[in-house]
Chain A
Amino acid sequence: MNGYIEILLRSVSFILFLFLITKLVGKKQISQLTFFEYVSGITIGSIAGEVVTGLEKNYLQGTLAVLIFGLVTFLSDYFSLKSKKFRDIMEDSGTVIIKDGKLLEENLKKEKYTIDNVLSLLREKNVFKLADVEFAVLEPQGKLSVLLKKENRPLTPKDLQMKMPSEKEPYTIIMDGKILDDALRWSGKSRGWLYTELEKMNATLDNVFLGQVDSYGELTLDLYDDKIQVPQPQQRPLLLASLKKTQADLEIFSLSTECEKTKAMYKKNAEVLQEQIDKLTPYLNG
């Protein structure tokens, strides 16, 4: 019975201890392991397992070992940040595998990758034809980064010479029916504004599961009660439509009036409006 209690105590205390160690080593452990970090992570895990279950062994010795592994990993991270030379030793840089659309066999051999490995990595990137690739690097984490040839890259607004308005990130300001005051402040809005918007949309705060405000100050809501239809923000498309309508109206006035001076006035203003419509369209489209 004593053994069980000891395992219980050891487990709980080691979980806390490992938690501290992982905090020390940082997030990097999960996302981008260098080979060294990978090995030290596994070692820490198995030492911890040994210590928790191996009752005949000394508890503190295991703790010391874990602590040393954690510290060395932490220090290697720290020195990697400080010195480029150290970084080069600890984590090797990427290897170029494809250049100018040609495979570099030497580098492949050096990294011990077969052609099948490379093809499968390329397929993961949705590339099935080697000829489509301009340049590819094998990253230290074993991932392949691919630069496609210009004509095979996805089409962007820049390729079409379209001017796109820059957009800021949306802020989540309501979650589970509660206002997130920090996000509300970052978005430059006040509670008063929020209550007005909610009233406009006929929603109560308790019923809102998620509320986001975009860079135009438009509020999008998701309600708990999915049967209630929330009006989607439509202010900008409507505004564009009424701009176009007014522009057409002015054209009609200029055609139907007989007074030359007034005709010219209407025409001029119709042109002003058309100019503004052209300028605003990227901002007002949906």
Chain B
Amino acid sequence: MTVASNVKQCLVTITGIESQLSTLALNSLDREAQAVFHEAAMKIETVKKDLQYRVLELERQEPQYKGS
């Protein structure tokens, strides 16, 4: 496992988490729970953006790992 693929895997997991939180926010009946899930999804999105940026950076630095 290279660093790039590890980071990519992590990015995919984060994306999954974000979408699951959004689903929970939509499916929950309790207002408070909805708000908590929604807020968490937004926070996770910022983390996702940072990771996406990092993946691009890694691909630029080490083009041989691109797409893997």
Contact present for B29 and A246 (CB under 8 Å) = no
Which among A74-82, A125-133, A237-245 touches the partner chain? A237-245
B37 / chain A contacts, CB cutoff of 8 Å? 280, 283
A213 to B: closest C-beta gap in Å: 9
- Interface residue ranges of A148-167 to B (CB < 8 Å): 165-167
Interface residues on B, range: 20 to 34
Contact present for A165 and B10 (CB under 8 Å) = no
Contact present for B10 and A168 (CB under 8 Å) = no
- Given A242-B13, A245-B13, A283-B37, the answer on whether A269 and B50 have CB atoms closer than 8 Å is yes
Which residue of the partner chain A has the closest CB to B48? Answer: A269
Contact present for A249 and B17 (CB under 8 Å) = no
Measured CA separation A236–B25 after assembly (Å): 12
Question: Does any Cβ of A come within 8 Å of B36's Cβ?
Answer: yes
Contact present for B20 and A239 (CB under 8 Å) = yes
A25 / chain B contacts, CB cutoff of 8 Å? none
- What is the total number of residues of chain A having a CB less than 8 Å from a CB of chain B? 33
Q: Binary interface profile of B, 27-68, with partner A (CB < 8 Å = 1, else 0)?
A: 111101100110010011011001100100100000000000
Measured CA separation A272–B44 after assembly (Å): 8
Measured CA separation A93–B51 after assembly (Å): 68
Extra contacts, 7 of them, besides A168-B30, A249-B13, A283-B37 (Cβ < 8 A), are A165-B30, A167-B30, A239-B21, A253-B10, A268-B50, A269-B47, A283-B36
Measured CA separation A110–B30 after assembly (Å): 49
A272 / chain B contacts, CB cutoff of 8 Å? 43, 46-47
- Given A188-B29, A217-B24, A283-B33, the answer on whether A276 and B13 have CB atoms closer than 8 Å is no
Would you list 22 pairs from A and B whose C-beta atoms are within 8 A, ordered by A residue? Answer: A165-B36, A166-B33, A215-B29, A216-B24, A216-B33, A217-B28, A235-B20, A235-B24, A236-B24, A239-B17, A239-B20, A239-B21, A239-B24, A243-B17, A246-B10, A249-B6, A250-B10, A253-B3, A265-B50, A275-B43, A280-B40, A283-B37
